Amino acid sequence: MPRRRDRKEQMLAAAQYPLDWLEERSGLIGGLRYFLFRKVPGDSGWWHTLGSATLTAFLVQLGTGVILAMYYKPDPKSAYESVQHINNDVTLGWLVRGMHRWGASVFIILIFFHMARVFLFGAYKYPRELNWVVGVLLLPLALLEGFSGYLLPYDQTAYWATVVGININGTGPFIGPFLASFLRSGPEITGDTLSRFYSIHMLLLPGAILGLIGLHLYLVVRLGVSSPPWSPEAAGRERAEPPPVPGSGLVNPAPRGVTKRPD
C-alpha cells in the first residue's frame, strides 16, 4: 500500500511540475488563479454578461476575419470575384462570411446594450471613470470597422456607400478634406483606396481595439464590477452602522448561513 501512495504522489508531482516551472518563471499561473478566483459581488448576474458577450462577438470577428483574409484579394479587379469564390467554392465559406457580416451587427448592438447597462447601473462613477472613457473610445473604432469593412466586397452598394461616406468626411471643418483625401488615397477612388481600407480594417483598427479591450479588462479586474443599484445586498452600500471588520474574529465567527450577519 505505501508503494501505491508513493506512485500517486509521484504522478501528482509530475503533473504539477510544468505548472510550477511556468509559475516560477512567469507568475502566469498565479495571475490566472487570481483572475479565476477573485471575488465578484454576490448579486452580480445576467446583467454583467453583456461585456463578455461583446468580447465574444469581437473574437468571432477576429476568427472569421482571419479565415476571410486567407481568400480575399484587396484589388478592384479581383476583390468581387474573390468574395464570390468565398461564397460559392470555399467549404463553408458562405458561413464564415455570413458570420463576419452579421457578427459585425451583433457586435455593435451588444456594445450599445453594454453601454446602456453600465450607464443605468451608474457603473461609470468613481473609481471607474477611466474605464468608461476607454469603452466610449471603443465605440467609434467599432463603427469605423463597420465602415471600412463595408467597401471590401466591392459590389455596387459597397462602392457607392463608401463614395458618399468619404465625401461626408470631407464636409468636416479644417481636417475634413484632408481626411477624405487620406481615405481615398488621392482625389479619386482607386485600387489604392481598396487596399488602404483593407489595411485599416484588418491591421490598424483591430490592433487599436485589441489594445483598448486589454486595458478595459485590466481595469475591470482591478476595480471590480458594480452591484445592481437596486440590490439590497449591493457591495459598498451605505449602512446605518459601520460594517463589521473582516478577520477580527469577534463580529462574524460562525460560518456563513448559520448566523445572520448584522447589517
Partner 1 sequence: MASRRVEENRVAFQRYKEDVKRDGKPFYPYAMFHDTVMSLVVVCVIVGLAFVWHYTSLLGPSLAAKADPGTVSFVPRPDWYFYFLFYLLRIFKWPNSVILGTVGIPTILLILALAIPFIDLRRERRLLRRPIAIVAAVLVALSMGVLTYKGATAKEALGAELLADVPNWVKSEQLPPQALPGAKLFATSGCLNCHTYQGVGGSQLGAPNLSAEGSKNKGITFQIAHLKCPSCVNKGSPMPSFAAFGNANLRKLAIFLEASKGPH
Report how far Cα 214 is from the mean position of its chain's Cα atoms: 8
Question: Would you say 221 and 212 are in contact if contact means Cβ atoms under 8 Å apart?
Answer: no
Name which of 237, 235, 233 is nearest 40 in CA terms.
Answer: 235
What is the number of alpha carbons within 13 Å of residue 238 lying toward its C-beta? 3
In the complex with partner 1, which residue's Cβ is closer, 23 or 155? 155
In the complex with partner 1, which residue's Cβ is closer, 13 or 130? 130
In the complex with partner 1, which residue's Cβ is closer, 69 or 133? 133
Question: Cα separation of 104 and 38, whole Å?
Answer: 32
Instruction: Please provide the DSSP assignment of 81-134 as one string.
Output: HHHHHHHHTSTTHHHHHHHHHHHHHHHHHHHHHHHHHHHHTTTTSTT-HHHHHH
Q: How far is the CB of 238 from partner 1 (least distance, A)?
A: 8
Q: How far is the CB of 115 from partner 1 (least distance, A)?
A: 8
In the complex with partner 1, which residue's Cβ is closer, 13 or 120? 120
Q: How far is the CB of 7 from partner 1 (least distance, A)?
A: 30
Q: How far is the CB of 228 from partner 1 (least distance, A)?
A: 9
Residue with C-alpha cell 473609481? 127
In the complex with partner 1, which residue's Cβ is closer, 150 or 202? 150
Q: How far is the CB of 10 from partner 1 (least distance, A)?
A: 29
